[in-house]
Amino acid sequence: MSDPVTGVFVQYGALGVVALLALAAVRVLFNRLSAAVDREQQRADRLEEELRKLNELIRGELIKSIGEATRAVADALAAVRRN
């Protein structure tokens, strides 16, 4: 037991060993939680980028449809005015 912190915990006997094991478990759980947060952040970034691309696609289609509708209304008005 070359680690001074481990030596301090072992000086307290069974209670120190239990505390040392509890600290090790907390560290492992914290590392897992940190890794999960990183994965979820990457997932959120990827999904945000996909949403941005879809919004651009929908916006492009909407502009195209509005242009066609405007031309159709203009043609209909021109036809009504001729009659």
Q: Which structure tokens are listed for 45?
A: 């970034």
pLDDT of residue 13: 79
Distance between CA atoms of 16 and 1, rounded to whole angstroms? 13
Kindly report the pTM of this predicted structure.
0.59
Helix (H, G, I), strand (E, B) or coil at 6: helix
Amino acid (1-letter code) at residue 9: F
Q: Which structure tokens are listed for 37?
A: 């947060």
pLDDT tens string 21-80: 899 999 999 999 999 999 999 999 999 999 999 999 999 999 999 999 999 999 999 999
Give me the residue spans of the domains in the chain: 4-82
Amino acid (1-letter code) at residue 51: L
